[in-house]
Structure 1
């Protein structure tokens, strides 16, 4: 029996199913362990007030304490520094990395004064930069909760990850947002499987589930984030795509009034390429007096 810990949300359970179905096909039984995180306990607080690791810490503790064998996360929720006892054992092939606007109208067609919901400072600042005449209000809750608030008319639109819509197989009208305008959060669209660092048997078991190109993109993005600083409490986005042996990356920062976007295309170690992009963005931020 392989025990898999994750949040109790519908999206988390769908992500766990990807991993458990893979293990079931190999002949292993699995057990889901639902865990409440700090983000769940303080569901009405803005994310930036809760600090780092609010979606992951309690879930990973189950693995550290031996109460679960694996933890499954949206990789964008993982802090840049995992516990010394843990490691990312596999990254599932990436789903869409893009943000979307769930609305009847696209970004530039929204009426002036429209209310748009998001819990992300990054999305808020990018939207405010593009449409300063739009009102952006905080929106917390699981995906189904956020969509219900939109369909009930509380918001003219909400910004969420396209991957969540695809994974939940939702039938709802939305517009994909250009990654130059809305550069995604690092590792958006990636499912990460976390386990004990020294558990080579589990690592080997997950080898066919692991997608190396996705992992390379993830490491490059996380390396950029290390340089700039980031996460769901920061107005910073980064996205890498590996094409053949080259990494193409973009990174953006905005305070709502100004926005900087830089790009890179390189061969090489993903961590090094990510660091180079981070330094490039940081240099431009200094030039524009945008150091947070």
Structure 2
């Protein structure tokens, strides 16, 4: 291979680990030497601004806009994302070309063996509206404080006593070799964020060569599930202020989708489930059902 394939990534330890996973998969699939794929680190606004919640300063686009610019300006051929950090509506000129096999979708609690074991009025650090609402739904006595930053930053804040506990995605901890840290929360106790545990690769929509190169490493089941979860977000017109959880699964040709919408304080919620043949628009059906049954203070957090 005479020309290197340039793969854009954020510079956090987890982002680099995931970019290396994509590089290794591409090289293995195409028989390339490891140096055929060049990792290009792009610093994002989300990495620079750590003292405010994403919803206050621009939402998920803070993780993607600099990578989008580099991709569209042809500085890179593809870019790697944690799919749960990718905004629902993407530019038409950019396409999700592939996803790696999904990892553990669960959240992991660090600081106690389970949510019920947290001491009364415990302080829990998180920046996620979903995690905040789900915690308060189960434990209204908890005090939630803002935790931003990469995995090491948040673990350091916890070690420094800024909170009694925090929640991190099991997939990220596992990918960083931290699989012994914390306690995984079952999905029936805490449904994950849409697309949690999935790594996606985007290319320019018109770049047929890059699209074919990347599509060769696509995990079809992960792709179908994540697209269904993202379709639910689109139908709900959810934004970064909207506490929403969703998880899709595939059995044969049937796709099942579970979801939960919550008020910001967890004091009201609605949950539901839908399933159908792969390709059917079950996400829109489930969104309509959830919104029709949601209490007013949940419904008003959706619809854009």
Q: State the TM-score, normalizing by the size of structure 2.
A: 0.91
- Counterparts of 1:155 and 1:288, CA distance in 2: 28
Q: Show the counterpart of 1:5.
A: 8
| 5+ residue gaps, structure 2 | none
Measured against aligned partners, the alpha-carbon deviations of 1:82-130 in whole angstroms (never above 9, x if no partner) come to: 1121101111111111112112331011110111111101110110111
- Between the two proteins, the alignment pairs up a number of residues equal to 291
Residues 282/181 of structure 1: CA separation in 2 closer, same or farther (3 Å cut): farther
- Counterparts of 1:289 and 1:170, CA distance in 2: 35
- Counterparts of 2:298 and 2:128, CA distance in 1: 22
- Counterparts of 1:175 and 1:277, CA distance in 2: 30
Tell me which of 65, 87, 111 is aligned to 1:57.
65
Tell me which of 38, 45, 54 is aligned to 2:52.
45
- Counterparts of 2:229 and 2:216, CA distance in 1: 23
- Counterparts of 1:159 and 1:203, CA distance in 2: 35
Q: Show the counterpart of 2:111.
A: 103
User: Contact 2:89/2:234 (CA < 8 Å) preserved in 1?
Assistant: no
**Is residue 93 of structure 2 the alignment partner of residue 90 of structure 1?**
no
Q: How far apart are residue 237 of structure 1 and its match?
A: 1.1
- Counterparts of 1:107 and 1:113, CA distance in 2: 12
Tell me which of 104, 122, 147 is aligned to 2:155.
147
Tell me which of 196, 199, 206 is aligned to 2:207.
199
Q: Secondary structure at the match of 2:19?
A: helix
Q: How far apart are residue 265 of structure 1 and its match?
A: 2.3
Q: Show the counterpart of 1:280.
A: 289
Q: How far apart are residue 206 of structure 1 and its match?
A: 2.4
- Counterparts of 2:44 and 2:176, CA distance in 1: 21
| 5+ residue gaps, structure 1 | none
Q: How does 1:1-292 map to 2 (within 5 A)?
A: 1-25=4-28, 26-27=31-32, 29-52=36-59, 53-255=61-263, 256-269=266-279, 272-285=281-294, 290-292=299-301
- Counterparts of 2:173 and 2:300, CA distance in 1: 34
Q: State the TM-score, normalizing by the size of structure 1.
A: 0.94
- Counterparts of 2:50 and 2:160, CA distance in 1: 19
Q: How far apart are residue 288 of structure 1 and its match?
A: 7.3
User: Contact 2:99/2:198 (CA < 8 Å) preserved in 1?
Assistant: yes
User: Contact 1:118/1:140 (CA < 8 Å) preserved in 2?
Assistant: yes
Q: Which runs of 4+ in 1 moved over 6 A?
A: none
Residues 289/55 of structure 1: CA separation in 2 closer, same or farther (3 Å cut): closer
Residues 171/215 of structure 1: CA separation in 2 closer, same or farther (3 Å cut): closer
Q: How far apart are residue 231 of structure 1 and its match?
A: 4.9
